[in-house]
Amino acid sequence: MEITVTVNGTGYTRDVEPRLLLVHFLRDTLGLTGTHWGCDTSNCGVCVAWLDETPVKTCTVLAVMADGHRVRTVEDLATGDTLDPVQQGFSDRHGLQCGFCTPGMLMTARRLLDDDPDPSEATIREAISGQICRCTGYENIVRSVRAAAEIERTADQEARA
């Protein structure tokens, strides 16, 4: 089937098998390997990207379902050499260890902060509850998201000054 998808602001038209998962379309067809592939069962959350503005587990979405839609992946977070505040927060507060779950966590955290610029710890934990990190114990991930919120607040205050 022919699909047309906008990924990270660039339009792509490709012929795909109807059964091709979005995670494989992103990784294998487009070469965007930032979206990781873990379980294929929607349990781990490492494959989270945005379909339009909604975080989805791309291992449970067929590429044909993205036809005519916008997809945003972790590759789209940074602007040039400037990290997104979420990426900076994870770097500053050691929110990653092996890094396998990190792209999905970053995309989920970005959406959370877009919706709630000052989330509580409970809200952060709820937002990332569909994702598994086997290394960190989540404490530094929560701290990282809080740090990202602070980075954004500081930038907003400086922009208004």
- pLDDT of 89-137, one tens digit each? 999 999 998 999 999 999 999 999 999 999 999 999 999 999 999 888 8
Residue 6 near residue 69, CB atoms below 8 Å = yes
- Please state, in angstroms and rounded to a whole number, the distance separating the CA atoms of residues 27 and 22: 9
Q: For 21-81, where are the E strands, in sequence order?
A: 48-51, 54-57, 70-72
Has residue 82 got a pLDDT over 90?
yes
What pLDDT is recorded for position 42?
Answer: 84
Q: Where in the chain is the domain with CATH 3.10.20.30?
A: 2-76
The CATH classification of domain 85-160, taken from the options 3.40.50.1100, 3.90.1560.10, 1.10.150.120, 1.10.10.10: 1.10.150.120
Q: Where in the chain is the domain with CATH 1.10.150.120?
A: 85-160
Question: Mean of the pLDDT values across residues 31-51?
Answer: 92
- Please state, in angstroms and rounded to a whole number, the distance separating the CA atoms of residues 115 and 159: 20
Class of domain 2-76: alpha beta
Question: Mean of the pLDDT values across residues 33-55?
Answer: 92
The alpha carbon dihedral of 78, 79, 83, 87 has a sign of negative
| Confidence band, pLDDT 50/70/90 cuts, at residue 64 | very high
pTM: 0.94
Residue 77 near residue 9, CB atoms below 8 Å = no
